[in-house]
Amino acid sequence: MTTDHDLPEACYAFEESTQQVIGILRGEVGYRLLSNVPPHVAGNELEARAWIDNRNNSMGVTPAQREAMVSGSMFGWHLPIANPARHTNAKPYTSPSN
Query: Within a 10 A sphere around the Cβ of 85, how many other Cβ atoms?
Result: 10
Mean pLDDT rounded to a whole number for the chain: 92
> Would you place residue 11 in the very low, low, confident or very high pLDDT band (cuts 50, 70, 90)?
very high
pTM of the predicted protein model: 0.90
Cα–Cα distance measured from residue 24 to residue 33, given in angstroms and rounded to the nearest whole number: 9
pLDDT band at 42 (very low <50, low <70, confident <90, very high): confident
Using the predicted structure, report yes or no on whether residue 48 has a pLDDT greater than 70. Answer: yes
Rg of the chain over CA atoms, in angstroms? Answer: 13
Mean pLDDT of the 78-93 span: 96
pLDDT score of 98: 47
All residues at 6 or more sequence positions from 33 whose CB lies less than 8 Å from its CB, including other chains:
20, 22, 23
Cα–Cα separations (whole angstroms), residue 22 to 15, 35, 44, 55, 91 = 6, 10, 14, 12, 18
Mean pLDDT of 8-13: 98
| E strands in 1-98 | 10-15, 20-25, 32-33
Please tell me the distance from the alpha carbon of residue 4 to that of residue 27, in angstroms, as a whole number. Answer: 11
Q: Is the pLDDT of residue 71 over 70?
A: yes
Averaged pLDDT for residues 83-96: 91
